[in-house]
Amino acid sequence: MKETDREAVATAVQRVAGMLQRPDQLDKVEQYRRREARKKASVEARLKAAIQSQLDGVRTGLSQLHNALNDVKDIQQSLADVSKDWRQSINTIESLKDVKDAVVRHSQLAAAVENLKNIFSVPEIVRETQDLIEHGELLQAHRKLMDLECSRDGLMYEQYRMDSGNTRDMALIHSYFGSTQGLSDELAKQLWMVLQRSLVTVRRDPTLLVSVVRIIEREEKIDRRTLDRKRQTGFVPPGRPKNWKEKMFTILDRTVTTRIEGTQADTRESDRMWLVRHLEIIRKYVLDDLTVAKNLLAQCFPPHYEIFRSLLRTYHQALSARMQDLADLEANEIVSLLTWVLNTYTSVEMMGNAELAPEVDVALLEPLLSADVVSALLDTYMSTLTVSHGWSHMGLGRREGGPFWTGRNLLRWRMDLPVPWMFEQNLQVAAQISEDLKTKVLVLCLQQMNSFLSRYVFLPVESIVSLKRKYLKHEAEEGVSLSQPSMDGVLDAIAKEGCGSLLEEVFLDLEQHLNELMTKKWLLGSNAVDIICVTVEDYFNDFAKIKKPYRKRMIAEAHRRAVQEYLRAVMQKRISFRGAEERKDGAERMVREAEQLRFLFRKLASGFGEEMDSYCDTIVAVAEVIKLTDPSLLYLEVSTLVSKYPDIRDDHIGALLAMRGDASRDMKQTIIETLEQGPAQASPDYVPIFKDIVVPSLNVAKLLK
């Protein structure tokens, strides 16, 4: 209490200090006092009223508690009296069992009386319902069927309540209403017929389809009520639950499957294009059906049925099953199938069509064929393609008119189809399916081409040997000898062709390393020429069994080709030197590599007693032009190069000057024009080396485009 007084005094002091902060406020002290007195009186009055209200409430509460106590005592006394009376009347209650049974029978009889009219009119209702079903009045027919089932189920339920073990009476009721189940089945058949033709019915008579859906919805509600009553009482009417909604989706699934399977009008025996026609019909049917389902059919079903999503899933599953059934196919049929499955199905011509958006998202569609099935079909196609690509049998083996002689006295065979054309056709077909298959077919084509070339090399030799044996024997029988020089000429031509093919293989193997010459990598220290020398030497070790004249010729040709490829790299404009130091390093590297090539071919030709160094001198001469430090002497150096190698052209000179990197456009033009005025004359024994070297006018990237 003292603490409260102190807080009140402190608060009062603060309040007074807040009021009296200026001298002029002292004149208003009396006014402030009266105002505070009024506030105090008001607060005290409110406090007294609140306390009085609380006291009145307490007084009322005590009065109510007193009354409640008296009521509890009265109830307690009444319960005691009731308990006493109940104990005294137990025997009397047992004697009223007959009354209880009478009440039950009265309840049953009341139900029977209530349904009496329906019971007597069952035959008539059955006939009316049958007529309504036959005339297509499905809603009215279902209403009468519901009345029959309600009467039957009500009577059976009352019998079940009275005596669930009395099967005889239950059977009697069921027998009397026996026609009800038949009517239900007949109505169901009509419903299923409408649903089977739902995509047609929704265009002609959507009201009929809506009636069918309403009937199914009614039956679903009755099924739910039946199951609820079963949980409560254990009673289930006969024929329940009908599950017509589930059967409806089953019918739709079966209809879609039948529609997809029924689109095949032809067979392989009657039409080679049967599969293409079959797939095109499927595409049109599916697109039309889904468009109708989205725009019309969905309006006839409740939203929670999600009928379009259900039909989309059903069509997808049916198509997937149909595609898997089409397993035993030929190569061209596999292409058609995979093209349709992988490309057409998700394109704008089908599932990606704007009419189906946004309900159909092709990104969310599962593949029609699993990866394993697609892989198996691709393997089958590749194996079939491998068999059909037996080039030596399909091309050389099926020649018409036999071999023929060319103007160069070479024996050639006609092919039914050009090999590049066959490659292109197969690659175009594979590209329709996927880029992965295109790559596989390309690899297969290259493998088959390699096999074809090997066969192509040895087939003429085998044929000539066969011809030699045949005709030598024939001439011997007639006593005429075959001209030996003619025979030697033919065999020599064949040998040259064979050696040329072997050299082609060598330079195909060297192509990667030749492309590395005259590049930035080469200038910084590439070992491309080392690899070239080792590879050439290794190949010629394998050629050791070739007869000396042909081996000598092969070495000379390989020497010429190696130098020519080196010079071709110079003319390819792959690099342009940035200064005298780079030109010096590049030229010295060219001289060293020319010496490497010279040493290699001297070693290979050491057993033939001839020196073949002139080719490598060409590289050294070109290096001297590049190494020149005084541009004023460039014309003189180029003139010397042209005099040594008369087959060099102005585009070669231009490429060489471009590689130097310091010749102006005017200087290049002056040098080329001056050299054109007095072209050098080639000596009779000069072997052209620049003649076959082409200077590109475009870079490789542009050529590839």
Q: Are residues 570 and 665 in the same domain?
A: yes
Q: Give per-residue pLDDT as tens, 377-407.
A: 777 777 776 655 554 444 444 444 455 444 4
30 pLDDT band (50/70/90 cuts)? confident
b (16+ CB within 10 A) / e for 75-87: eeeeeeeeeeeee
Rounded to 5°, the CA angle 31-35-37 comes to 115
In this structure, are 567 and 667 located in the same domain? yes
628 and 531 both lie in a single domain = yes
Same domain, 116 and 166: yes
User: What pLDDT shows up at residue 346?
Assistant: 84
Asked if 66 and 115 sit in the same domain, the reply is no
Q: How many domains does the chain have?
A: 4
Q: Residue 696: inside a domain, yes or no?
A: yes
Q: Distance (Å, rounded) from C-alpha 459 to C-alpha 463?
A: 6
Range of weakest confidence among 159-163, 482-486, 637-641, 684-688: 482-486
Structure confidence at residue 542 (pLDDT): 87
- Same domain for 233 and 278: no
Specify if 336 maps to a domain.
yes
**Confidence check: pLDDT of 472 > 70:** no
End-to-end CA distance of the chain: 104
pLDDT at residue 86, rounded to an integer: 82
Query: Phi and psi dihedrals of 405, rounded to 5?
Result: -95, 135
Decide if pLDDT at 75 tops 90: yes
3-state secondary structure of 483: coil
Rounded to an integer, the average pLDDT of 303-315 is 89
Domain endpoint, select from 189, 217, 242: 242
Q: CB-based contacts of 149: which residues, under 8 Å, 6+ apart?
A: 177, 180, 184, 222, 237, 239
pLDDT value at 90 more than 80:
no
Give the domain-ending residue among 242, 275, 301: 242
Of the listed ranges 100-109, 177-186, 489-498, the least confidently predicted one is 489-498
Among 512-516, 544-548, 558-562, which stretch is predicted with the lowest mean pLDDT?
Answer: 544-548
Q: Is residue 411 part of a domain?
A: no
Among the listed residues 134, 247, 256, 258, the one whose alpha carbon sits nearest the alpha carbon of residue 199:
256
pTM over 0.85: no
Q: How would residue 54 be classed by pLDDT, with cut points 50, 70 and 90?
A: very high
Whole-number Å distance between alpha carbons of 651 and 210: 85
Please tell me whether residues 542 and 634 are part of one structural domain: yes
Would the pLDDT of 431 be above 70? no
User: Does residue 149 have a pLDDT over 60?
Assistant: yes
Residue 471 resides in a domain: no
486-496 burial, b at 16+ Cβ within 10 Å, e below that, comes to eeeebeebbbe
Token pair 């690659």: residue: 427
Q: Which of 184-198, 436-450, 657-671 has the lowest mean pLDDT?
A: 436-450
For residue 703, is pLDDT > 50? no
Give the up-direction half-sphere exposure of residue 479: CA atoms within 13 A in the CB hemisphere. 0
Using the predicted structure, report yes or no on whether residue 524 has a pLDDT greater than 50. Answer: yes
Task: Based on the fold, state whether residues 237 and 259 are members of the same structural domain.
Answer: no
More confident residue, 1 or 617: 617
**And the tokens for 17?**
């200090």
| Structural domain contains residue 488 | no
Same domain? 337 vs 219: no
Q: Looking at residue 642, which CATH number applies to its domain?
A: 1.10.357.70
Query: What's the mean pLDDT when you consider all of the chain?
Result: 79
Looking at 242, 276, 305, the residue that finishes a domain is: 242
Predicted pLDDT of residue 479: 44
User: CA triplet 179, 183, 189: central angle to 5 degrees?
Assistant: 145
Per the structure, the complete domain to which residue 323 belongs is given by 254-388
**Sorting pLDDT into bands at 50, 70 and 90, what band is 535?**
very high
Shared domain for 40 and 164, answered yes or no, is no
More confident residue, 644 or 98: 644
pLDDT of res. 475: 47
Residues 536 and 620 in one domain: yes
State the pLDDT at residue 356: 83
Query: In this structure, is residue 450 part of a structural domain?
Result: no
Do 214 and 134 reside in the same domain of the chain? yes
Whether 73 has a pLDDT exceeding 90, the answer reads yes
* Beta-ladder partners of 411: 405
Lookup: tokens for 539: 């190949």
The answer to whether residue 410 is domain-embedded is no
374 in a structural domain: yes
